[in-house]
Amino acid sequence: MKAKKVFYLFLFLLSCSVSMAQVNFEAKVSKKRLGINERLRVDFEMNEDGDNFVPPGFDGFRVVGGPNQAISNSWINGRRSYSKTYSYFLAPQSKGNFTIGQASIEIDGAIYKSPPISIEVTSAVEIPKDGNNADYLASENVHLVAEISNTNPYLNEAITVVYKLYVSNEVSITSNWREIDSPKYADFWSQNIDNQGNFKIYEGKYNGEDYRYVILRTTVLYPQKTGELNIEPLTLDVPIDVRSNKRDFIGRFLMTRVNKTISAGNSTIKVKPLPLNGKPENFSGAVGDYKFDVTASKTKLDANESLELNVKISGNGNLKLFDLPKVILPSTLEVYEPVRDDNIKTQISGMTGSVAENYTIVPQLKGNYPIRPITFTYFDPKTESYRSITSKEILIEVENGPLTASVTTDNSDQKQVVTMESDQFKYIKLEASLEPIEQESFFKSTLFWSLMGLPLAIIPLFILIGRKRKQRLADVEGNRLRKVNQLAKKYLGEAKRNLSHKDLFYESLERALHNYLKAKLLLETSEMAKEHISQLLQEHQVDEPTVGSFIGLLKSCEFARYAGTAGGSIQTDYNSAVELLAVIDKQFR
């Protein structure tokens, strides 16, 4: 009986020593229920030193601090106490129920995992207005504001969004803020005005209080759709130094650093449609304040000499978003495709500069050629009315040439009158010096037999060509590639030439996509709303994934103007454009 007691005592002491040597690895959270505007602290704690720590993914949260590592190693009454902790500070990204997953650590060759923890994120809670609370002081003294120049513009009228970061004199920040979410500006043509990282500090007022502020970004927008449009918020993670109640040994206040997520908030723009009353038929979507002029490099020249006809629109407005009026010239003038010349700058007030098309004209005949007046119409949002500018008539005088012609471009049924000169046919010889040729029988001559045998000789050639043609028609993949190359050459040639220049590439790619839609759907520039494009493509039996990819490519062109884009992304967008045009062309009915 005594031996049994000794045996049980030995087992108890052994179990105690084993339990004391047991490895513990667990996760602890500061709270299991928090508001979306609060922060969560997660500690992964172990009682033995380990290696190869792997944290969980933190789905639904954004890491705003950490990992911070703390180690405690102490001896009390001859017993060692050890703990090692990895700490993270998390900001919830949305409301709902989330799970902090398992972390893992390797201790003495074995892998240990922490148990998962469920977290509930609720609506924003009121932060206690505690003057000693660093989070509260930071949130009350730093503000991000989006100032919009006009919240009720017309379609295609420029508006400006200026993002300002206000900081009171009670706190301080550095330039090490981090952008979390960037606005995508759906249904807007957009372009950022870069300040090249030179943030100038201004003095201003916020809610009547003295503040300092910097202008983070200025963006110019042109709405492409009427109705209520949403401008997504700009969201930043900002490190803020807040004065604490503690002092150092010489009496100065110590600073506490707090990371805060601040947002400019959503903004709604109500876009007015352009008035239908008084809208001219030749209106092409130009909105702004413009000047229009048509000039010729010279008006007197000889036949087969060239002149330049310049059609130019200058001023302020949506210069990149409409087409120039076309020039109608007499049919006896040889005209080459116009060369476009854009000289546009984007300022705070919007796009300013000029767009022009230069026509090269070569007259073939002597005579007078009138270039009839051209009318350009635009909408002026300041006067809320349509304005038309008509160019002057230009008379081209061709002084020397083979023919004198009086040419008219009027749309009448009158015959064109042509007056011949007296020496018109002086180049015809009236006295011929002919000599007889030797009479030779054509029958059975070398030429005769050559002409007889030629059809037989070319029959194998036709057979070979026919086989090649059948093989070519049967080559489905080859035909598809050739059609893709033709479409790419027709619409994407300019974009391909600008692959090494991001801004020029995305401008030419967006213009090529718009030209393709105009050719396929007979759209005007003012009808380029993405919902309208998507609806029309689906009506023409283009499947929904292809339509979504095409709309996504248009958005990629818009986004690329204000977000950094790697060279690989440019090549990927070009390849996507080539493939999408081929797929749409195949499905289009």
Same domain, 259 and 349: no
Look at residue 367 in the predicted model and tell me its pLDDT.
Answer: 87
% the chain with pLDDT above 70: 80
Average pLDDT over residues 91-98: 88
Burial 517-536 (b: 16+ CB within 10 A, else e): beebbebebbebbbeebbeb
pLDDT at 313 over 90: yes
Domain contains 300 = yes
pLDDT at 378 over 50: yes
The whole model's pTM is what?
A: 0.50
Look at residue 483 in the predicted model and tell me its pLDDT.
Answer: 57
If residue 174 lies in a helix (H) or strand (E), which one and from where to where? none
3-state secondary structure 383-449: CCEEEEEECCCEEEEECCCCCEEECCCCCCCCCCCEECCCCCCCCCCCCCCCCCCCCCCCCCCHHHH
Q: Which of 63-77, 192-206, 239-253 has the highest mean pLDDT?
A: 192-206
Domain contains 560 = yes
Comparing 13-17, 178-182, 365-369, which segment has the lowest mean pLDDT?
A: 13-17
Question: Quick check: helix, strand or coil at residue 293?
Answer: strand
Look at residue 9 in the predicted model and tell me its pLDDT.
Answer: 53
Same domain, 480 and 561: yes
461 compared with 299, residue with greater pLDDT: 299
Look at residue 583 in the predicted model and tell me its pLDDT.
Answer: 83
Average pLDDT over residues 197-215: 86
Domain contains 460 = no
Nearest-angstrom CA–CA distance, 72 and 46: 11
53 compared with 498, residue with greater pLDDT: 53
Residue 19 — pLDDT band, cuts 50, 70, 90? very low
Residue 224 · residue 189 · CB < 8 Å: yes
Nearest-angstrom CA–CA distance, 264 and 589: 45
Q: What tens digit of pLDDT does each residue of 468-485 get?
A: 777 777 766 555 555 555
Same domain, 138 and 113: no
pLDDT at 13 over 60: no
pLDDT at 286 over 90: yes
Sign of CA dihedral 363, 364, 368, 371: negative
Same domain, 261 and 306: no
pLDDT at 77 over 80: no
Residue 386 — pLDDT band, cuts 50, 70, 90? very high
Comparing 50-54, 379-383, 490-494, 532-536, which segment has the lowest mean pLDDT?
A: 490-494
For 501-577, strand residue ranges (E) read none
Nearest-angstrom CA–CA distance, 20 and 13: 10
Same domain, 104 and 188: no
Show which of 419, 438, 458 is a domain's final residue.
419
Average pLDDT over residues 407-414: 44
% the chain with pLDDT above 90: 25
Look at residue 409 in the predicted model and tell me its pLDDT.
Answer: 45
Look at residue 466 in the predicted model and tell me its pLDDT.
Answer: 80
Average pLDDT over residues 302-322: 92
Number of domain units in the chain = 4
Question: Quick check: helix, strand or coil at residue 579?
Answer: helix
38 compared with 159, residue with greater pLDDT: 159
Same domain, 146 and 262: yes
Comparing 78-92, 149-163, 298-312, which segment has the lowest mean pLDDT?
A: 78-92
Q: Which structural domain range is residue 507 located in?
A: 476-587
Q: What tens digit of pLDDT does each residue of 516-531 get?
A: 777 777 777 666 777 8
Average pLDDT over residues 87-104: 89
Look at residue 252 in the predicted model and tell me its pLDDT.
Answer: 64
Domain contains 79 = yes
Q: Phi/psi of residue 225, each to 5°? A: -150, 145
Average pLDDT over residues 332-343: 89
Domain contains 158 = yes
Comparing 66-80, 406-420, 445-459, 545-559, which segment has the lowest mean pLDDT?
A: 406-420
pLDDT at 355 over 60: yes
What is the chain's Cα-based Rg? 39
Look at residue 329 in the predicted model and tell me its pLDDT.
Answer: 86
Average pLDDT over residues 408-414: 44
Q: What tens digit of pLDDT does each residue of 530-559 get?
A: 788 888 888 888 888 888 888 888 888 777
- Residue 546 Rama label (left phi>0; alpha psi -120 to 50; beta): alpha
Average pLDDT over residues 156-169: 92
Q: Which of 36-50, 128-142, 559-573 has the highest mean pLDDT?
A: 36-50
Same domain, 181 and 301: no
Domain contains 454 = no
pLDDT at 416 over 50: no
Average pLDDT over residues 490-511: 77
Residue 173 — pLDDT band, cuts 50, 70, 90? confident
Give 2-71 as a DSSP string: HHHHHHHHHHHHHHHHHHHT---EEEEES-SEEETTS-EEEEEEESS--EEEE----TTEEEEEEEEEEE
Same domain, 299 and 354: yes
77 compared with 212, residue with greater pLDDT: 212
Look at residue 2 in the predicted model and tell me its pLDDT.
Answer: 53
Look at residue 93 in the predicted model and tell me its pLDDT.
Answer: 87
pLDDT at 408 over 50: no
Same domain, 402 and 522: no
Q: What is the mean pLDDT of the chain?
A: 80
pLDDT at 564 over 60: no
User: Residues in the chain, how many?
Assistant: 589
Show which of 122, 152, 187 is a domain's final residue.
122
Question: Quick check: helix, strand or coil at residue 469?
Answer: helix
Domain contains 444 = no
Look at residue 62 in the predicted model and tell me its pLDDT.
Answer: 87
Same domain, 310 and 267: no
Q: What tens digit of pLDDT does each residue of 39-52 get?
A: 888 989 888 888 88
Average pLDDT over residues 500-516: 79
Look at residue 15 in the predicted model and tell me its pLDDT.
Answer: 47
Show which of 271, 297, 313 is a domain's final residue.
271
**Which CATH number covers residue 258?**
2.60.40
Q: Cis (ω within 30 of 0) for the bond into 239?
A: no
CA torsion, ordered 457, 460, 462, 463, to nearest 10 deg: 160
Same domain, 224 and 163: yes
Domain contains 59 = yes
Same domain, 216 and 304: no
